Amino acid sequence: MDHFLYKNGALHAEDISLTEIAAAIKTPFYVYSAATLTRHYQLFTEALSPLPHMVCFAIKSLSNVAVLKLLGDLGAGMDVVSGGEYRRARAAGIPGERIVFSGVGKKRDEMRLALTGGIRQFNVESEPELRALSEVASSLDLTAPITIRVNPDVDAKTHTKIATGKSENKFGIPITRAREVYAEAARLPSIEIIGIDVHIGSQLTELTPFEQAYLKIADLTHQLRADGHKIRRLDLGGGLGIPYSRSSKAPPLPVDYGALIKRIVGNLGCEIQIEPGRLISGNAGLLVASVIYIKKGEGRNFLILDAAMNDLIRPSMYDAHHDIVPVIEPTSNFKATVYDVVGPICETGDTFANGRPLAPLTEGDLVAFRSTGAYGAVMASEYNTRPLVPEVLVKKDHFAVIRQRPTFDEILNRDTIPPWL
């Protein structure tokens, strides 16, 4: 469920018409709904209650500090994967004890930043990383709370570029070697083991892979406890998928996912932690663009928009589908026109959709890409020197630009011509 509905003939974000925002800041822009973000976060907390738990929002999916503050004020923790994301979480007022540091290549300065600034846990992904963390923590006279991310060798049945739980993926420590790595962790100075971490992939549309992975985690919990380790927290990762199209089969709901977690690991006496990104942010955001031209090709119509692959890369990168809807509500009996929806960038990959039936559009019309709150703005770039796409947050009848579009002066001033040139 989201809060992007047609009212009085125009698509709204909550109580604000997208035409009003477009008039104020020009297209393209991302717009997020505070009510949808809130609702999606609450679905997870409700699904895990009454187990002791923390929902740590995966910042990588949508990292604007205003959004982090909104979720943080609801009690959310944050899952970060870089020193930059750690800084964002802190800038949003999230205390260190609610920040989890994931990622396969943490650097020593990032470890130092998190250790000195405060951290809930590091999800350690390799033995060299474990040793580096022990050294850094020792040098600061601090203790690093850790889980070890295990790779359960489970097929997440998702796009290969976002599956992470098979043994051929770079993530985590093979579950078969987990006991020896935990033994090493227990011997190392300045390391405190607090639990186990697993994350098998993103946009999972079935529960079975989660079940297979969590059964292995439950077994491992027993084994590690028998080895003498204190396992008091299980971080079960993120990855629950969202519906990207109104016509496709809906993925399982957070409540079903929560029931699965309770059934498999609910009786282990552990605090449960999860790291969802997409399910909280994905359907809480739209990318709004304008039609620049409609070009007649050989047997096809190209709908040329002012948004491009640099603003939303998912279609070119993962062949991802995003519903595209007109901002002005079409009449109920409209006759669809079939378009190839493209951006202005100089490569054929800059295509959002081929052969997409849409309500007839004309130059200057606004369209919205649905389900772009996650992995939309965060993956945007300035390719073709197109200014980084701005972001807007709506709450009821308020809206605010939460990231400005940079000016061309700002963009050009980042380049410097050396004096010797």
| Residues labelled catalytic | 346
202 binds ligand LLP (CB under 6 A): yes
CB 77 within 8 A of CB 45: no
203 binds ligand LLP (CB under 6 A): yes
195 binds ligand LLP (CB under 6 A): no
Structure tokens at 396: 């009821």
User: DSSP letters along 83-122, please?
Assistant: HHHHHHHHHTT--GGGEEE--TT--HHHHHHHHHH--SEE
Residue 83 CA to residue 107 CA, distance in Å, equals 9
Comparison of 58 and 288: residue with beta carbon closer to ligand LLP: 58
Please name every residue paired with 338 in a beta bridge, in sequence order, or none if there are none. 357
Nearest-approach distance from CB 3 to ligand LLP, in angstroms: 20
Nearest-approach distance from CB 276 to ligand LLP, in angstroms: 4
Comparison of 276 and 326: residue with beta carbon closer to ligand LLP: 276
Comparison of 58 and 94: residue with beta carbon closer to ligand LLP: 58
Phi, psi (deg, nearest 5) at residue 346: -80, 55
152 binds ligand LLP (CB under 6 A): no
Residue 276 CA to residue 203 CA, distance in Å, equals 10
277 binds ligand LLP (CB under 6 A): yes
Max CA separation in the chain (angstroms): 71
What does the CA dihedral 240, 376, 91, 84 come to, rounded to 10 degrees?
90
278 binds ligand LLP (CB under 6 A): yes
Residue 30 CA to residue 77 CA, distance in Å, equals 24
Residue 241 CA to residue 226 CA, distance in Å, equals 35
Nearest-approach distance from CB 106 to ligand LLP, in angstroms: 12
Residue 179 CA to residue 96 CA, distance in Å, equals 28
Stretch that binds ligand LLP, among 32-40, 180-188, 255-263, 277-285 (CB under 6 A): 277-285
Residue 60 CA to residue 81 CA, distance in Å, equals 7
Residue 363 CA to residue 347 CA, distance in Å, equals 22
Stretch that binds ligand LLP, among 23-31, 108-116, 198-206, 329-337 (CB under 6 A): 198-206
Site for ligand LLP in 50-79 (CB under 6 A): 58, 60-61, 79
Site for ligand LLP in 296-335 (CB under 6 A): 314, 318
| Among 28, 195, 239, 258, interactor with ligand LLP by CB under 6 A | 239
Tell me the three state secondary structure of residue 184: helix
Site for ligand LLP in 352-411 (CB under 6 A): 374-375
Stretch that binds ligand LLP, among 70-78, 134-142, 195-203, 340-348 (CB under 6 A): 195-203
199 binds ligand LLP (CB under 6 A): yes
What does the CA dihedral 302, 305, 311, 316 come to, rounded to 10 degrees?
-10
125 binds ligand LLP (CB under 6 A): no
207 binds ligand LLP (CB under 6 A): no
| Among 35, 51, 140, 162, interactor with ligand LLP by CB under 6 A | 162
Stretch that binds ligand LLP, among 140-148, 175-183, 272-280, 381-389 (CB under 6 A): 272-280
| Among 85, 129, 275, 391, interactor with ligand LLP by CB under 6 A | 275
Site for ligand LLP in 77-106 (CB under 6 A): 79, 102
What does the CA dihedral 29, 34, 37, 40 come to, rounded to 10 degrees?
-140
N residues, the chain: 421
CB 238 within 8 A of CB 275: yes
Residue 386 CA to residue 348 CA, distance in Å, equals 17
Give the residue among 99, 152, 106, 96 at the shortest CA–CA distance from 126: 106
Comparison of 57 and 399: residue with beta carbon closer to ligand LLP: 57
Comparison of 162 and 401: residue with beta carbon closer to ligand LLP: 162
Nearest-approach distance from CB 239 to ligand LLP, in angstroms: 4
| Among 172, 238, 258, 343, interactor with ligand LLP by CB under 6 A | 238
Helix (H) or strand (E) holding 318: helix 314-318
158 binds ligand LLP (CB under 6 A): no
Give the residue among 148, 81, 147, 75 at the shortest CA–CA distance from 114: 81
Q: Give residues in contact with ligand LLP (CB under 6 A).
A: 58, 60-61, 79, 102, 162, 199, 202-203, 237-239, 275-279, 314, 318, 374-375
